[in-house]
Amino acid sequence: MCIKYGIVSLITSNLLLYSHMLFNDVIGQEEVKKHLIEIAQSGTVPHAQLFLSYPGSGGLALALAFAQYLNCENKTHHDSCGTCSACVKAQKMIHPDIHYTYPIIAKKPSPHPSLSTDYIQEWRNEIIKNPYINELEWLQAIGAENKQGNITADEARAIIKGLNLTAFESTYKIHIIWMAEALAKEGNILLKLLEEPPNNTVLILIAENQEEILPTIISRCQLVKINKLQDDELAQGLLKKGVPQSNTQHIAYLSDGNYNEALKLIDSETDVDTRRLTQWLDFSINMKSGELLKWSEENGKIGRENLKVFLEYTTHIFREALLILHIKQYAARLSKEELNLAHRINKFLTHQKLESLLELINKKHYEIERNVSPKMVLMDMSLLLHKIIRGK
C-alpha cells in the first residue's frame, strides 16, 4: 500500500493547522486538556508544572495552548477565543508575558553569554511550523551539527530575572522550558524561584525523561503525565491535515504514538520500503556481496531523513514479526505484502535474534542521526545482520 501524499499539500496544511494553538489544535490528549482548563478556571494555577511527555505526544503543543488559554481575554469553558489581542500575540509567539527556554549552542563570536533569546526567530519559525518537533531536529535547524544543546546557568538566571518582572499586559507571566533535561545540575539555580515564586507567575517544564530531571526540581513541580497518542487519535490528527482516510491508520500504526514521526511518514512510500527491506534481507542473509554493495550505495543516497524512516519502518516490521511469533492469533498491523514478509522473517529468525536485530537497527538509526556516512552504516548493518542470523 502506497501512503505517499503531496509535499505541497503537506506544507500548506502545516501552515493552516498551526497558525493557531488552541487546545482544539492539539492532537488527542483530551484528559490532559480537561485538567489544564479546570485548573485555569479554578484560579489556583500551580506556579510550577512538569509536563512529562512521551516523544511526539504533544507536550510543547499543550504548554503553548495552556499559556494562550491562561492569558486569553475572552476564554470559554472549552478553549481560548483565538482572536483577542493576547491570543493573536501568543499564536505568533510574540506575547510579552510568555517566554521560552530551549537547548541551544553557543553563538560565536559573541562578547555575551548565549541565551535562548539569541535564537528566538529560529524558534518561532520552527515551532509555529511544527510544535511536535524533536530536540535533534531543532538543533539541526540552528546549525548545531554534532554539538549537544544545553540550557546554561546564565539562562537559568535569566529565567529568574524575567519572572521577577511585573507582567506587561496579562494576568500571568509564563515561562516555558522545553526539553528541561538540558538543564542538568544547572536546575539547582531555579530552586529558590520554585520555592518562593512571584505572584501570578507560571513555570512550565517539558521533559521526556524523568530520570534526567533533578529530584529537587520534580518535588517542587506538579507533575502532568502526557502519554503516547493512541492510533485513532493519530489517525484523526492526520485527517485534519488532509491525509486520505485510507492512509491514516497505516501511518498511525507505523508512528507508534509519535505524531512527529507520523508527519514524516505522510510523504513516504511503504511499497518502496517493503521492497527495500526485502532486498536487504535477501542480499545480507545470502551474503551476495556485489548486490549488497550496490544496495548500500544506492540507498545511502536517499537522504538521511528517508533513511531514518526506512530504519523505523524496518523496526516496525521486525516488532510485528516478533509478536506474530509469540502471540497466538495476533492481529498484525501490516498490509498483506508486509504480513508475508513477516512470516518469511520468522522462518529464519528466533526471538533472541529478532531482539538482537532490533537493537542493531536502533544503534544504526542513532548513527544516521549523528551524521555517520550512510553507506558505511548500511554496509556495517548488513554484515552484522549476517552474523546475527548465522549465530556468530
Q: What are the tens digits of pLDDT across the range 27-80?
A: 999 999 999 999 999 988 999 999 999 999 999 999 999 999 999 999 999 999
The residue written with cell numbers 542470523 in the block is: 389
Q: What digits encode the pLDDT tens for the residues 76-97?
A: 999 999 999 999 999 999 999 9
| Size (the chain), residues | 392
Q: Is the pLDDT of residue 348 over 90?
A: no
Predicted local distance difference test score (pLDDT) of residue 20: 62
The candidate with the shortest Cα–Cα distance to 55, out of 374, 312, 337, is 312
Q: What's residue 19's pLDDT?
A: 46
Instruction: Please tell me which residue, 53 or 273, carries the higher pLDDT value.
Output: 53
Compute the distance between CA of residue 257 and CA of residue 231 in angstroms, rounded to an integer. 7
Please report which confidence band the pLDDT of residue 392 belongs to, taking 50, 70 and 90 as the band edges: low
For 354, the grid coordinates are 529478532
Is residue 121's pLDDT more than 90?
yes
Full domain range(s) for residue 288: 269-389
- 297 and 223 in a single domain? The answer is no
Please enumerate in sequence order all residues whose Cβ is within 8 A of that of 202, keeping only pairs 6 or more positions apart, or say none.
45, 46, 47, 48, 49, 67, 70, 172, 173, 174, 175
Letter for the amino acid at 152? T
On whether both 372 and 309 belong to a single domain, the answer is: yes
Q: Is residue 263 part of a domain?
A: no
Please say if the pLDDT value at position 268 is more than 50.
yes
pLDDT of 339 reads: 80
* Share above pLDDT 70 across residues of the chain, in percent, rounded to a whole number: 92
CATH of the domain at 146: 3.40.50.300
Q: Mean pLDDT over residues 369-386, rounded?
A: 86
Write down which residue in 232, 261, 288 finishes a domain: 232
Cell numbers placing 108: 560565536
Residue at a domain's end among 183, 206, 232? 232
Distance CA 36, CA 33 (A): 5
Question: What distances in angstroms separate CA 130 from CA 14, 127, 153, 159, one per listed residue?
Answer: 7, 5, 28, 24
Predicted pLDDT at 182: 92
My answer on whether 134 and 191 are in the same domain is yes
- How are strands ordered across the β-sheet holding 98-101? 98-101, 173-178, 201-207, 48-53, 222-226
Same domain, 158 and 55: yes
Query: What is the rounded average pLDDT for all residues in the chain?
Result: 85
Query: Which band of pLDDT confidence, cut at 50, 70 and 90, is reported for residue 11?
Result: very low
The residue out of 204, 232, 260 marking a domain boundary is 232
Query: Which pLDDT does position 245 carry in this prediction?
Result: 72
- As for how many domains the chain has, the answer is 2
Handedness of CA 102, 103, 109, 110 (dihedral sign): positive
- For residue 329, the one-letter residue type is Q
All three cell numbers of 9: 499539500
Res 22: pLDDT: 93
pLDDT at residue 391 greater than cutoff 90 = no
- How many C-beta atoms lie closer than 10 Å to residue 148's C-beta? 10
Residues 228 and 320 in one domain: no
Our measurement of the distance from residue 18's CA atom to the centroid of its chain's CA atoms, rounded to an integer in Å, reads: 16
State the cell numbers at 234.
493519530
For residues 106-110, give the mean pLDDT.
Answer: 78
CA 341 to chain CA centroid, nearest Å: 29
Residue 243 domain-assigned?
no
pLDDT at 336: 73
Is 59 buried (19+), middle (13-18) or exposed (0-12) by CB count in 10 A?
Answer: buried
Distance, CA of 332 to CA of 53 (rounded, Å): 27
Flag whether 107 is in a domain. yes
* Neighbouring residues of 349: CB distance < 8 A, sequence distance ≥ 6: 321, 357, 389
- The CATH code of the domain that includes 317 is 1.20.272
pLDDT at 267: 62
Considering the domain architecture, whether residues 126 and 202 belong to the same structural domain is answered as yes
Would the pLDDT of 2 be above 60? no
In this structure, are 309 and 166 located in the same domain? no
Residue 317 has what pLDDT?
Answer: 83
